[in-house]
Chain A
Amino acid sequence: MSFDEIYNITLMQGFAGLSLFAVLLLMGLGLAIIFGQMGVINMAHGEFMTIGAYTIFLLSSLTESHAPGLMQAYFPFAILCAFIVAFAFGWLAEWALIRHLYKRPLDTLLATWGLSLAMQQAFRTLIGPKEVSPTLPDWLMGSWEVTEGLDIPINGMFVLGLTVLVTGGVLLALYKSRWGLRVRATVANRAMANATGINTTRTDRVTFAIGCGIAGVAGAAFTTIGSTGPTSGSLYIVDAFLVVTFGGAASLWGTVVSAFGIAQTQSISEFFLSGSMAKVLTLLLIVTILMLRPQGLFASKVRR
């Protein structure tokens, strides 16, 4: 293998890793917001991603059978729907379950695991155990040949663009909007935020729902790189947790960096090792680093 080939392969695997990066980042972003705000680990987060993916699939089937002429245009609209549907279910879950369990993080972990089991079985009963794929618009297919021997898939680029958009939007909302201000106030001092008239109960619910909504968008991104089954979400949940802890739970910037690092390590080592050994290597690396530096990559020093 010449150097040029290795260079091209590394670059291509790197671009392939970008799709994984996008899904991990969108998953991690939702988790990080929820964890940072409420100290809640949402084990059902993967299932909210699956909800998003199924929404895309349903809309694509509907469009195909009722309005085939709109096939080229439905996708952006479907992404929005994926967000809204996942948001709505997140809202419901927070109201029915999560709000009773604040201050008991380990119990929340178990309860949301129960929720994820129920959701998986619901998918299996309502939609079916088989994996499904939406029909994607033609403009998402194919690849862009930059130079000889270097192909970059278009769906990867699209997903990356979507991720940048969502991440930017979240950061903007968190630091510029009233909601963001309320969230940051609640994170800093819940009792004080309450005393100054911030409705923390409502802030919690909105935050949880937004986190789930972003997972729905992650599901939309996921449909471009794989097919969706009842347990698709659970394949990503551990990785998404590691993205959040590895980045330093309170730091969104850390989430971005660690999602990128994990996705790239996984993707590039996949070419040189078998898929499972690449996974083992990546996970082992993260766990070892977390043992040596448990606060994650980015953490602020605060008097405790």
Chain B
Amino acid sequence: MSNTDFVLAVEDLTVSFDGFKAIDSLNLYVDRGELRVVIGPNGAGKTTLLDLICGKTKASAGSIKFKNQEMTRLPEHMIVRAGIGRKFQTPSIYENLSVFKNLEVSYPRGRGVFGALGFKCDEAVKAKVDEIADMIGLADRLELEAGLLSHGQKQWLEIGMLLMQDPELLMLDEPIAGMSARERELTAELLKRICRNRSVIVIEHDMEFVARIAHKVTVMHQGKILAEGAMDKVQSDPKVIDVYLGH
């Protein structure tokens, strides 16, 4: 297919596990600076979709183009270096390291073996860590061991670790799961801020939260896209209502 202006263009994507098609010839396009929310019932294939984009799972067929560059054949770390960041469903941070170290390790320099041996935490790194820590509200927690953070703070820290790399596409799998109402509010603010200069894909179940942040909503069902568009339009779509209430 030809080049596009989309930051991410997924076409005819299929993956099957022993004959079961978890994703079935799916198409998805994400604009620059867009915040897209993917919703759908359990088992719709949302997490699998993110796994495919970031290379954790290899596609059976189809293409994933990021800035017009094919991603399906690249190893995971090359996909990350191309500019795709992925946050996992449960907070995945280095519990034994300090918040500062967590962020420092995520800084995109010294990624090779010998680069890592010679890596020095200079002013540029410190400045970046301070900037991101400020953004995720952990500026006064830098020296704390990350395992001691609250659940919500861990989620933010993982988002911060991704932001350290300035990805052009950020994918978040249920970022507010297990958060208090106050933390949800703060997270919504954070997401609005970080999508100013990058695209974000969020998987989320909480409709109130979705309505607050989404530019556009994609509804998935049985590995396919059921509906796509603005939140209110999608919510009144009879097919979507059927999927959510019909079961």
Does a CB–CB distance below 8 Å link A and B in the complex? yes
Q: Which residues of A contact B (CB under 8 A)?
A: 300-303
Q: Which residues of B contact A (CB under 8 A)?
A: 17-18, 22, 48, 57
**Nearest 6 A/B pairs, CB to CB:** A303-B17, A301-B18, A301-B17, A302-B17, A300-B18, A303-B22
- CA of A49 to CA of B22 in the docked complex: distance in angstroms? 45
Report the minimum CB–CB distance from B89 to chain A (whole Å).
Answer: 14
Q: A301-B18, A302-B17, A303-B22 are in contact. List 6 more A-B contacts (CB 8 A).
A: A300-B18, A301-B17, A302-B18, A303-B17, A303-B48, A303-B57
Which residues on B sit within 8 Å (CB–CB) of A300?
A: 18
- CA of A302 to CA of B48 in the docked complex: distance in angstroms? 13
Which residues on A sit within 8 Å (CB–CB) of B57?
A: 303
- CA of A300 to CA of B17 in the docked complex: distance in angstroms? 9
Which residues on B sit within 8 Å (CB–CB) of A302?
A: 17-18
Among A300, A301, A302, A303, which residue has the most Cβ atoms of chain B within 10 A? A303
Q: In the complex, which residue of chain B has the Cβ closest to the Cβ of A300?
A: B18
Q: What are 9 contact pairs spanning A and B, CB under 8 A? A: A300-B18, A301-B17, A301-B18, A302-B17, A302-B18, A303-B17, A303-B22, A303-B48, A303-B57
Which residues on B sit within 8 Å (CB–CB) of A301?
A: 17-18
Which residues on A sit within 8 Å (CB–CB) of B18?
A: 300-302
Report the minimum CB–CB distance from A171 to chain B (whole Å).
Answer: 21
Q: In the complex, which residue of chain B has the Cβ closest to the Cβ of A303?
A: B17
- CA of A302 to CA of B17 in the docked complex: distance in angstroms? 6
Which residues on A sit within 8 Å (CB–CB) of B48?
A: 303
Report the minimum CB–CB distance from B19 to chain A (whole Å).
Answer: 10
- CA of A301 to CA of B20 in the docked complex: distance in angstroms? 11
Report the minimum CB–CB distance from B49 to chain A (whole Å).
Answer: 13
Report the minimum CB–CB distance from A304 to chain B (whole Å).
Answer: 8
Report the minimum CB–CB distance from A89 to chain B (whole Å).
Answer: 39
Q: In the complex, which residue of chain A has the Cβ closest to the Cβ of B17?
A: A303
- CA of A301 to CA of B18 in the docked complex: distance in angstroms? 6
- CA of A300 to CA of B18 in the docked complex: distance in angstroms? 8
Report the minimum CB–CB distance from A85 to chain B (whole Å).
Answer: 41
- CA of A11 to CA of B57 in the docked complex: distance in angstroms? 46
Report the minimum CB–CB distance from A5 to chain B (whole Å).
Answer: 48
Report the minimum CB–CB distance from B15 to chain A (whole Å).
Answer: 9
Which residues on A sit within 8 Å (CB–CB) of B22?
A: 303
Report the minimum CB–CB distance from B151 to chain A (whole Å).
Answer: 21
Report the minimum CB–CB distance from A303 to chain B (whole Å).
Answer: 5
Report the minimum CB–CB distance from A62 to chain B (whole Å).
Answer: 53
Report the minimum CB–CB distance from A130 to chain B (whole Å).
Answer: 53
- CA of A301 to CA of B57 in the docked complex: distance in angstroms? 11
Q: In the complex, which residue of chain A has the Cβ closest to the Cβ of B48?
A: A303
- CA of A303 to CA of B51 in the docked complex: distance in angstroms? 11
Q: In the complex, which residue of chain A has the Cβ closest to the Cβ of B57?
A: A303
Which residues on B sit within 8 Å (CB–CB) of A303?
A: 17, 22, 48, 57
- CA of A98 to CA of B22 in the docked complex: distance in angstroms? 38
Q: In the complex, which residue of chain A has the Cβ closest to the Cβ of B22?
A: A303
Report the minimum CB–CB distance from B27 to chain A (whole Å).
Answer: 22
- CA of A300 to CA of B20 in the docked complex: distance in angstroms? 13
- CA of A302 to CA of B57 in the docked complex: distance in angstroms? 11
- CA of A149 to CA of B194 in the docked complex: distance in angstroms? 83
Q: In the complex, which residue of chain A has the Cβ closest to the Cβ of B18?
A: A301
- CA of A300 to CA of B48 in the docked complex: distance in angstroms? 18
Q: In the complex, which residue of chain A has the Cβ closest to the Cβ of B16?
A: A301
Which residues on A sit within 8 Å (CB–CB) of B17?
A: 301-303
Report the minimum CB–CB distance from A248 to chain B (whole Å).
Answer: 15
Report the minimum CB–CB distance from A147 to chain B (whole Å).
Answer: 47
- CA of A303 to CA of B17 in the docked complex: distance in angstroms? 6
- CA of A303 to CA of B22 in the docked complex: distance in angstroms? 10
Q: In the complex, which residue of chain B has the Cβ closest to the Cβ of A302?
A: B17
Report the minimum CB–CB distance from A293 to chain B (whole Å).
Answer: 16
Report the minimum CB–CB distance from A27 to chain B (whole Å).
Answer: 30
Report the minimum CB–CB distance from B86 to chain A (whole Å).
Answer: 15
Report the minimum CB–CB distance from B14 to chain A (whole Å).
Answer: 14
- CA of A301 to CA of B17 in the docked complex: distance in angstroms? 6
Among B17, B48, B57, which residue has the most Cβ atoms of chain A within 10 A? B17
Report the minimum CB–CB distance from B21 to chain A (whole Å).
Answer: 12
Report the minimum CB–CB distance from A221 to chain B (whole Å).
Answer: 36
- CA of A301 to CA of B48 in the docked complex: distance in angstroms? 15
Report the minimum CB–CB distance from B225 to chain A (whole Å).
Answer: 20
